[in-house]
A and B are shown apart, each in its own frame.
Chain A
Amino acid sequence: MNKSGLIIRLAVVVLFAAIAVGTIVSQVFFRITYLNELEAGKVKIEQLYKTVSTTASIATYLEDKELVEEVLNGLTSNHIISSVAIQTARLNTTSPDHQLSENSQTFALFSPFERDRQVGSLVITPNISHIRERASKISWDNQLAITIQATIITLTIIVIAFAVVTRPILSIANRLHQIKPGTSDQLKIPRFHQSSEIGQLVRDINGLLKKTQKQFVDERLLRQQVEKLSKHFKLLFENSTSPIVLTEPNGNIILYNKAFVNLLARLHLPLQQNFGEYMRDLFEDSAQIDNLIEDSVSMGEFASGEFRLKYNADDKPMWVHAVFNETVTDDYHEYMQITLHDISLRRQQVEQLNKKAYTDKLTNLLNRRGAEKHISSLIQQQTSFALLLLDLNRFKPINDVYGHDVGDQMLVYVANQLMKSLRNTDILSRWGGDEFVIVLPHVNDNLVNDICQNIKSHIEKPLFIADANESISVGVSIGVTFYPIEKDTLSSLIKAADTAMYSLKESRKSEKFLAFYRDLA
């Protein structure tokens, strides 16, 4: 049995209480009994005196030794009397071992015939040890009775407590111990405890169990939902055709999907832990990304834009629409989510379309629209430049004599010759017919002169026509105007250059091929 079990504790407590109370009660009881017995002894002695008073009176009146002794013997035969003494004028008779004590009682003896004539006295000493013995016997008997009673009550209490309280609690405890939380198991209310505190306890426990079970079920359901959801998310993430990467603020990659791996493979890059902050190293123009991120992400917005990724010279350029999204989790962890949508194909198509729209089909130079776009953008940027309008001399007869095919051949030749004579940054376009517009950014008069000289010498080189077995050549007239010193709109620039160029045609001086607009005035 459990040493600190309820029953043992109860038994020990009740036992000790019984012993303590019993000891105190027996002491008090003994004292009370003793005093009572002492008092009772006094009363009894008085009664005894009354019983013998007549005889004693006669005996002392007559001073008859025999009678006196008869009285003495009669009295001392009582257990409660220790000794007796009878005194008269002439006699002093005592029982053996006569001793006076504080409890001795003295009675005056009068003549039986004269009420006021004292003839002697009777001294009775009670037997204190007998009284004490009696008192102690009585209290012992009582104590025994109390002890038996206490024992019976104790046992009864223990048995009842066990049956009524402990056993139901133990059975509840055992049952509860076996119950697995989360199941629908319930405790049974012990018999006869429907309306007791134990019944209430069981009901409360059952309430708790039910609540726990509900929570378990809810939690399980929730977990299933979360698992399902996360599976879906994983599916979504893994099967996304767009590369998605989650990085720490320092650029360490935490999460990436299959599409990202494929992207790296296409870029011929190994999978690294880090591609720089927000993967900036992947982009061709990292500084552009830096600016974008600085501008938008720091404002707490997401940033997006179309960028070209770094690529090997032999590969096709790769364009992506990148979305940078900075997220902060509930526990204040910062992450950067980067999604890259491959837009290379679209970009290529657009570029091709653009190219078509802005390119002269014959010469592959910019057409007029393309030139206008470039010039407009230069004007927008307020870049100084010189605008040259070229017109071929002696071209119309070629068309007339050799046919349009040869004319076209000539135009292509001129275009190639022009390209050879220009710098990389210069813009070359076929304005229409046999007119070309050339834009030379950041140039001075000398440079314009040099370039124009170069142009002239290249153009005028003859072209051999195999069909006709002939070499033919064209001449050129160039009108020049400067932005923004002279004109600041496209149309006025063209008009100014055109005016300068026509001044040459009108003068008909074949040696002069170059005219500056400013010189006209």
Chain B
Amino acid sequence: MMTRIIIIVFSLLAILSLKAGAYSEQLVIVVHKDTPIESLTKSEVIDIFMGKYTAYPNGQKALAVELTDQHTLKERFYRQLIGRSVASVNAYWARLKFAGRKRNAEVKDTQDEVIEYLRTTPLSIGYITVAKLDDNLKVVYQIDE
């Protein structure tokens, strides 16, 4: 019995230690801590970022914050969320632009600037790595790898 408990504990420790490095790089969707949203579905996240809705399910306007195209995190984000490249996403927006729809998003150069915007802007929503989480931000969706 003892040995079994010991094996489980070690195993858990091993998994946790293994995941610790990767886990810190995982992307999460966060909102301003005062936003009255506790969690979102993947579709709701996609709808907000791909311009279907410009508001949260409760009707409050959602302010999306985005990184510049050069940022690697942006590529990762779209790859993981909808399986597309940034170029493809840009093409999508370009097409909508012809139809008269304009994207309504704040674009930042670095993650820190994103975090700063999220921290200071109510109803804002964006994506950051887990490592950058702090108390001013609220995770509403975690992207699975």
Contacts and interface: CB of A to CB of B under 8 A. Distances in A.
B84 A67 contact: no
Nearest to B46: A113
A64 B50 contact: no
A61 interface: yes
A64 B101 contact: yes
Contact of B84 (A58, A111, A113, A117): A113
B100 A66 contact: yes
B95 to A, nearest CB: 7
B46 A114 contact: yes
B58 interface: no
B52 A67 contact: no
B8 interface: no
Contact of A62 (B43, B51, B84): B51
Interface in A46-77: 55, 58, 61-64, 66-67, 70
Contacts of A64: 96, 99, 101
A243 interface: no
A113 B99 contact: no
A469 to B, nearest CB: 206
Interface residues of A, number: 14
Nearest to B51: A62
Find the residue from A67, A111, A113 having the highest chain B CB count within 10 A: A113
Given A113-B50, A117-B43, A62 B92 contact: no
B55 to A, nearest CB: 14
Contacts of A113: 46, 50, 81-84
B43 A114 contact: yes
Contact of A61 (B42, B52, B83, B95): B52
A62 B100 contact: no
A58 B52 CA distance: 10
A41 interface: no
B52 A66 contact: no
A120 interface: no
A111 B50 CA distance: 11
Interface string A107-127: 000011110010000000000
B92 A58 contact: yes
B101 A62 contact: yes
B43 A58 contact: no
Contacts, number: 32
Nearest to A61: B52
Contacts of B96: 58, 62, 64, 67
B114 to A, nearest CB: 22
A64 B96 CA distance: 10
Interface in A61-110: 61-64, 66-67, 70
Interface string B69-104: 000000000000111100000001001100111000
A63 B51 CA distance: 11
A387 B68 CA distance: 199
Interface in A266-280: none
A70 B50 contact: no
Contacts of B51: 62
Contacts of B83: 113
A66 B99 CA distance: 7
Interface in A411-465: none
Given A61-B52, A62-B51, A117-B43, A112 B92 contact: yes
Contacts of A70: 99
A64 B100 CA distance: 10
Nearest to A70: B99
Contacts of B50: 61, 113
A66 B97 CA distance: 12
Interface in A148-174: none
A112 B43 CA distance: 12
A520 B51 CA distance: 203
A52 to B, nearest CB: 13
Contacts of A58: 92, 95-96
A53 to B, nearest CB: 14
B136 to A, nearest CB: 29
Interface string B34-63: 000000001100100011100000000000
A70 B96 CA distance: 12
Contacts of A111: 46
Contacts of A62: 51-52, 96, 101
A70 to B, nearest CB: 7
Nearest to B101: A64
Contacts of A55: 95
The 5 A-B pairs with the shortest beta carbon distances in the complex, nearest first, are: A113-B82, A67-B99, A66-B99, A113-B46, A62-B52
27 contacts: A55-B95, A58-B95, A58-B96, A61-B50, A61-B52, A62-B51, A62-B52, A62-B96, A62-B101, A63-B52, A64-B96, A64-B99, A66-B100, A70-B99, A111-B46, A112-B92, A113-B46, A113-B50, A113-B81, A113-B82, A113-B83, A113-B84, A114-B42, A114-B43, A114-B46, A114-B82, A117-B43
Given A61-B52, A62-B101, 7 more contacts: A62-B51, A64-B99, A64-B101, A67-B96, A113-B46, A113-B83, A114-B43
